[in-house]
Amino acid sequence: MSANAQQAVTPQLRQWIVEQAQAGHAPEVLLKSMCDAGWDEALAAQAMETTLRAHLDQARQATSLPPASAVPEPDLEGSPLYLDAGDRRVHVISVQRSPRIVVFGDLLAADECEALVDLARPRMARSRTVATQTGGEEINVDRTSDGMFFQRAETDLIARIEERIARLLCWPVQNGEGLQVLRYGPGAEYKPHYDYFDPGEPGTATILRRGGQRVATLVMYLAEPEGGGGTVFPDAQLEVAPKRGNAVFFSYERPHPSTRTLHGGSPVVVGEKWIATKWLRQNEFR
């Protein structure tokens, strides 16, 4: 190791410290090597301590994470501007690798958006969320929307959209839950949350029998408000505008906050926001 006149703890130095410790060299040997290379002894000791502590913390976290699952993934090889979704050419507006967030444009036509809203409107009721305590459903004070669920392939329109989504995201159509349509009026919101089912909750085992974990979400915008209503990702410092016909996709390979998929629906300021959400499971959803 060469001397470092500025005494900077570089990524290369941290890697060297970890490699030497993994090779079985005692801390005294590492400290002497750094001092021989020109390091101040106190700074060298501090660099060793912070590097090895961080390495141990990362190792502990890695061993405590739930196992990763395969996730839906649009074919973005070569950074395409458009994707073939079978019956429709979909725009790729933005791509984020970590967390995995993709914004699509023109996924739905204007008449498709209107038709979904018209089909859903007579069946709307106060939105419920999955209750991981019991495996059932409950009204959640964090979600102040109205909503309803379609059965998979309930109509020709819904079947066509579901086939489009399956092709776009390279995921079997049978692994998708039925479309949920939601309406957010002025002031309505959905506070930040995760879509996967918490493995530590007692009702989760019951929920998973229907198709395993949720591994991805697609939010499609059916009607845009005049103000507010964006989809926010606090950990990614990202907000997606609710533009009609567009959609935001995000995946989560394990049910853990490390996926950084915390997200929510900002309060609608003026007008109404209508969305259709498609949740995708590991296995066939029954």
**Residue 97 maps to which CATH number?**
2.60.120.620
| 215 within domain boundaries | yes
| 51 within domain boundaries | yes
Please tell me the distance from the alpha carbon of residue 136 to that of residue 148, in angstroms, as a whole number: 16
Query: Could you list the residue range(s) of the whole structural domain that residue 38 is in?
Result: 11-64
116-174 pLDDT per residue, tens: 999 999 999 977 566 556 555 555 666 678 999 999 999 999 999 999 999 999 999 99
DSSP states along 99-124: TTEEEEESSS-HHHHHHHHHHHGGG-
Do 24 and 144 belong together in one domain?
A: no
What's the pTM? 0.76
| 235 within domain boundaries | yes
247-284 pLDDT per residue, tens: 999 999 999 999 999 999 999 999 999 999 999 999 99
Number of domains in the chain: 2
Do 101 and 183 belong together in one domain?
A: yes
63-97 pLDDT per residue, tens: 578 899 999 999 999 999 999 999 999 999 999 99
Do 161 and 263 belong together in one domain?
A: yes
Do 128 and 15 belong together in one domain?
A: no
Closest CA to 167 of 104, 281, 73: 73
